[in-house]
Amino acid sequence: MNIAFEEFEDRFLVTLEGKIDSAACPEVERTLQPIYTGQGKDVYIDCENLLYIASGGLRVILFILKKARSEGFKVIMLKPNDYIKEVFTITGFINFFEIR
């Protein structure tokens, strides 16, 4: 699993690659800590190369969504593949995120 996090003046960009299984969730949370505690900005999550996401990974993304919405910002999922779209559809997450 690879995760990249960039902060720009007006947004955060998170790039997720590989599999976010239960073992990877603590690393994902640590890497994304600035989103939880930083200034409010829109959050873009690039899922193009995300192959798998476990429930712990969904929890992390949901926490980011709650934080962003509480501050009036959006979370945008970029290029999710068919598997990730299916997971988001089954869990109902598809209704909470803007998908591009």
Domains of the chain: 2-99 (3.30.750.24)
pTM here?
0.89
Which are the contacts of 24, defined by CB distance < 8 A and separation ≥ 6? 1, 57
Q: Are 51 and 19 in contact (CB under 8 A)?
A: yes
pLDDT, tens digit, 9 for 90 and up, residues 29-76: 888 888 877 677 899 999 999 999 999 999 989 988 888 888 888 999
Residue 29 burial (CB < 10 Å; 0-12/13-18/19+)? middle
